[in-house]
Amino acid sequence: MKNSILQDLAPKLTGELQTDTLSKALYATDASVYRKIPLGVAFPKTKEDIRELIYFANKHNIGLIPRTAGTSLAGQCVGDGLVVDVSRHFTKIVHLDKEKKQVTVQPGVIRDELNQYLRPFGLFFGPNTSTSNRCMIGGMVGNNSSGTTSIQYGVTRDKVISLKTILSDGSEAEFETLSKTDFNSKLKEDSFEASLYKNIHKELSNKKITSEIEENFPKKEIHRRNTGYAVDELLQYEVFNGTKTGINLAKLLCGSEGTLAFTTEITLQLDDLPPPMSAMVVTHYKTLEDCLSDVAPVMKHPLQLCEMMDKVILDCTKNNRAQRANRFFVEGDPAALLMLQVSANHLEELEEAIAALQNTVADSGLSYASPVLYADDIRKAIELRKAGLGLLGNIVGDRKAVACIEDTAVALPDLKDFIGEFTQIMNGYGQKAVYYAHAGAGELHLRPILNLKKGDDVKLFRDITTDVAKLTKKYKGSFSGEHGDGIVRAEFIPLMIGEQNYKLLRRVKFYFDPNGIFNPGKIVDAYPMDESFRYEVNREEPEIKTLMDFSDSEGILKAAEKCNGSGDCRKTHHMSGGMCPSYHATKNEKDTTRGRANALREFLTNPKETNGFDSKELKEVFDLCLSCKACASECPSNVDVATLKAEFLYQYQESNGYPLRSKLFAYNTKLNKLGSKVAGLTNAVYDSSFLGGLLKKSSGVAKGRSLPKVYSVDFDKHLQKFKNQFINSKKSIVLYIDEFTRYLDVEVGKDAIELLVKLGYDVELFYAESGRTYLSKGFLKQAKTLALKNSERLKVFAEQERPVIGLEPSALLSFRDEYKRMNDDKAMADSIGENSFLLEEFLASEITNELLDASLFTTEAKDVKIHNHCHQKALSNQKVTFDVLNLPKNYKVTIIPSGCCGMAGSFGYEKEHYETSMKIGGLKLFPAVEKSPVDTIIAANGTSCRHQIFDGTKRVAQHPASILKDALLN
């Protein structure tokens, strides 16, 4: 019935309303353990849309669940009503007041992007969550977020100046500081807004009520306190005999999780940028107790941050491709470490701060190592710490570090004793918990490791949460420091603040929202904390057979379940990294790693058909995945959607047939081989506007896309030509001539041969089709056949210790990646992967080993800009290309921070994907190339990348092999 009602709502909105099965599945979860299927998802464009939604919700008794990035850990963003996502349209920075150092934004503005905008003005917004590159200001206000810098800059509530809102009756109200006179005038008005002031005044003027608040709310010195509504904050205002001027109800709404009003604009107080010079002392400890003992002493220093990571988190970083490099400062195997940052305006001042801090650490004698980090090394260390939440998803299997008690905050002097008692509770349950985060603020994110698919562990989930709530109450702490009450902690609010205070909160909720339409089930009248999980408890999980091997995740379903919803994939192109390129273009949740993993989990767990892969929803959600593999390295949980997509396509097409166009792309190498035999004729057809156009139209290729030329070259003859000239060889290597180099990028192959021979290597050629075209289109049987065939040859090279050097990243790196999932002999597959190198990787290692230097190359000065292939970024690194192109000593080399080019093999050719492909290229790559002078060399090692650069900018990009060959002296 409600779905038919929603159809009546849609025409009344200028924004979108989605009620399809896929959209509801995507928005059924956030970063918590909960799952509730909503009625639909609304994307309001205007305040009038929001007002219409409020009228509708009141009329039909439907809850409205406000949502921005959906990274909440406590279940704030899930519910069975209508999700209202403001992240798509409410994204404007409205006004900056440089004099007052205040900025007004809409709730969908991303925190880090706001600070990018503010930086030229010397200002920034201080609260800094671990999700800061995708979390939004509306969510930060809803949760009263804090983050790493709260000890210096405060929490979000401290920064909120005013909130423009729409109230539950549809009227607008701006909550800001009112003088006592204005407040008294407001009490005389006759409006819904005025009734709120009257009722709050009535409640908090009652001495019995205020005494109850002061007696039972968390200690005032705990600045991270989000338990319930912040009525204790209001007592600090002069209208209730406090010391702060007037009254500001925005402080009450901050942390209310969207349960009191719908916010449309937020005005924030800003800070001056931190001092320009910083250092971080990272103290290492053999025990957790030693680490906690040092917190109080070091906090006597003016620290920018004081963060902790324990061994569980640190061990997770070893298995994450992106974070492994950020472990560089970790010495030995610490049980825990503290990251202590100091800042200063001058070097002498900074050195004094470091010395003072080191003296305090030395006096305690508890730390066994304390390296000092500077400049970009600090950023890397902070990135390692920020990745903590997502890294917990790296734990293989159903047992996970579960968010339930992870948000406790106590007064700093109580921290060590609190953690000691907490550990005793955990020991009593046979638990080894995870400890990390904001030690300097008296808050550690403490997580038990549980399997919420099992009833016994669900009972533990409640029992542990209850016991820790009682412990937190004993220390008069806050059960929610910054992550909010949501579903997981709202049940415990009466215990934490007392029944009388809880009744007050219920009355406050009623005053603001008498019909209970705003985010029901949160803070008051809570949903049960041990129901509505992502998984059905005690159910026998489906066994899903796959062609590729997902045993490293205990199967494909658990590979998808590794996604914990932290939303790293929702960062936009304004941030570093390439995940997820299609999301950068569309801003649709379905085009994120999280969306794809959630959809795969949902439809495999609750299949409509016998074959769970046979799903039009899964086909839609994987449609715009470019298989760039950025998620394989950038996702802290290592959710490799490219591999999941390959398996899905195979399974789906096995049930529904393989489309003709997919066959054309999958078997492209065979077609190119045929075309190369009559290359002149083939290329003439491709160049013909009529015949080429007809070919594109009949095969579903975009009209605006150029077709690649084919060639026939005798590479053996070319090799022999140079071998005869250069007889002395210092090392025997194998040059892999892949399917793209053999028939399309023949000049790259020829240049690589000439380069390597002239550098003194004994080169043998290895011809093989990698299987990349089959993998990309889901033809896994054919890909596996090639993988097994090629492995027999590659195994011999590995046994001979002759490195295999590849030119095309998507081909060569399949030996290191997908071949392992298609080969039963894992030891052989590992040895093949370890013996396979990109040209740049091999030459970079030769430079490192002092076997290659600049003496063989020109001294001519040139500028070079690099765009590297996505698979290289994910499975290797960009620095190797940078290093080898710096061999000519006067080459000035820079890396374009370009993410994905948007071509992705066949993706950019397909007519329905062409626009998205070009839009992705136009975000970063095309502008960077177009801004470069015409004599700047554009380097790109991917065949698709070079094609995309040409189609998008008309500039010819070169492979590093060609650039280095041209730079040789002889």
| b (16+ CB within 10 A) / e for 255-272 | bbbbbbbbbbbbbbbbbe
The whole-number pLDDT of residue 441 equals: 86
Least trusted range by pLDDT, from 296-300, 393-397, 878-882: 393-397
Average pLDDT of the segment spanning 108-116: 98
Bigger pLDDT: 387 or 176?
176
Average pLDDT of the segment spanning 29-43: 97
Average pLDDT of the segment spanning 533-537: 93
Contact 360, 340 (CB under 8 A): no
CA distance 480 to 493: 10
Cα dihedral angle (253, 259, 260, 262), rounded to 10 degrees?
Answer: 90
**In the structure encoding, which two tokens stand for residue 110, read together?**
């991303």
Q: Which residues pair with 891 in a beta bridge?
A: 862
**Which phi and psi angles does 711 have, rounded to 5°?**
-145, 160
Is the pLDDT confidence value at 541 over 80?
yes
Mean pLDDT for the chain overall:
94
The whole-number pLDDT of residue 1 equals: 47
**Strand order across the beta sheet in which 434-437 lies:** 372-374, 277-285, 336-344, 305-310, 434-437, 445-447
CA distance 555 to 549: 8
- Taking CB atoms within 8 Å and a gap of at least 24, the contacts of 211-216 are 212/498, 212/500, 212/501, 212/504, 213/501, 213/504, 215/498, 216/497, 216/498, 216/500, 216/501
Share of the chain above pLDDT 70, in %: 99
**In the structure encoding, which two tokens stand for residue 444, read together?**
């550690």
CA distance 337 to 310: 7
**Residue bearing tokens 């324990």:** 310
**Which phi and psi angles does 21 have, rounded to 5°?**
-60, -40
| b (16+ CB within 10 A) / e for 279-315 | bbbbbbbeebebbbebbeebbebebbbbbbbbbbbbe
Average pLDDT of the segment spanning 347-365: 95
At 127-164, the pLDDT tens digits run 999 899 999 999 999 999 998 888 889 999 999 999 99
Q: The whole model's pTM is what?
A: 0.94
Average pLDDT of the segment spanning 634-657: 95
Bigger pLDDT: 1 or 241?
241
Is the pLDDT confidence value at 18 over 70?
yes
At 477-521, the pLDDT tens digits run 999 999 999 999 999 999 999 999 999 999 999 999 999 999 999
Is the pLDDT confidence value at 788 over 60?
yes
Cβ neighbourhood burial of 175 (10 Å; 0-12, 13-18, 19+):
buried
Is the pLDDT confidence value at 726 over 80?
no
* pLDDT band per the 50, 70, 90 thresholds, residue 390: low
H/E element holding 18? strand 16-18
* pLDDT band per the 50, 70, 90 thresholds, residue 727: low
Contact 227, 143 (CB under 8 A): no
* pLDDT band per the 50, 70, 90 thresholds, residue 392: low
Cα dihedral angle (477, 479, 482, 487), rounded to 10 degrees?
Answer: -170
DSSP 8-state class, residue 701: B
Average pLDDT of the segment spanning 631-652: 94
CA distance 951 to 946: 9
Alpha helices in 607-730 (DSSP H): 616-623, 630-634, 641-656, 660-666, 668-677, 679-687, 689-699, 715-723
Average pLDDT of the segment spanning 752-770: 96
**Residue bearing tokens 């230097």:** 853
Chain mean position to CA 688: 44
At 395-405, the pLDDT tens digits run 788 998 899 99
Average pLDDT of the segment spanning 549-567: 94
**Residue bearing tokens 């250069």:** 726
